[in-house]
Amino acid sequence: MLSLRVLALVGLMLLAAATPARAESTRYVLDPEHVSVGFLVEHVGYAKTLGLFRQVSGEYRFDATTGSITDLRIEIDAASVYTAHDKRDGHLRGRDFLDVGSFPKLVYTAAAAQRRGERGYVIEGELELLGQRRPVTLEATWNKRAPYPLALAPLQRAPVMGVSARGSFRRSDFGMMYAVENGWVGDEVELIIEFEARQQ
C-alpha cells in the first residue's frame, strides 16, 4: 500500500512538472506625458474640427506570452478639452456638450481585447459620458514593446508599450443633442487615441 502511495505521489509531481506554467499578466500604466486622446467632429459640413483632452490617465493588464490585454480603463478629465479656440472650448465645457460641472470625467472600460492578427486588437468596451454608458468599439494596434531607451537610470528602463487606437460614436446616443438636428455640429465623433504605457 505504501509503495502505491509513493508511486501516486511521484506521478502527481511529474504531472505538475510537465504542465506549462500559467502565464501572468502585468499591469501597465499610461504615461501622462505620452498620451493623446483626440476627436474630430464636422462643423456645418464644411470641415471637421480637431480637438483633444489634455489630461488623461489609465491602465490595463498585458500578458507578454499570449499577447492578451485585459482590465482596460481610461479616464479623461472633461474640463481639459482643447480645440485652440477659447470661446469654443468654454462652450464645450458647458451644458450643451460635456457639462463638466455635473460630469467631470469621461471613462472608457473594457474587460478584454480580442486579438486580430499579430498586433491587431478589437476592443469592445463601454464609454461613460454625461452619466450614460454605451458600447464603443476601438480598433487598436500594438506598435512596440521594449525597454525605454530614453531612461536616465537602469531602474527606469522597464518595458514600455505603444498603442494606437481608433473608434467612433454618436454623441446623440449619450443625450448630447445640441445642433444635431440642424446639422451645424456633427453627430458622429471620431476618436484618435495614441499612448505609451509603462510596465509596473
User: Rounded distance, CA 45 to CA 56, Å?
Assistant: 29
DSSP H helix total and E strand total for the chain? 2, 10
Superfamily of domain 21-199: Lipid/polyisoprenoid-binding, YceI-like (2.40.128.110)
Would the pLDDT of 152 be above 80? no
Residue extents of the structural domains in the chain: 21-199
Which pLDDT belongs to residue 177? 98
The model's pLDDT over 119-132, given as tens digits with 9 standing for 90+, comes to 999 999 999 999 99
Site of grid cell 500500500 = 1
Average pLDDT of the segment spanning 162-184? 98
Picking from 90, 20, 81, the residue whose alpha carbon sits closest to that of residue 54 is: 81
What 3-state class would DSSP assign to 63?
coil
44-84 pLDDT, tens digit each: 999 999 999 999 999 999 999 999 999 999 999 999 999 99
Cβ neighbours around 9 below 10 Å, total: 10
Q: Tell me the DSSP string of 77-116.
A: EGGGEE-S-HHHHHHHHSTTTT-TTT--EEEEEEEEEEEE
- Give me Rg for the CA atoms of the chain: 23
Q: Helix, strand or coil for residue 24?
A: coil
Residue 84's region, left for phi above 0, alpha for psi from -120 to 50, else beta, is: left
pTM of the model: 0.86
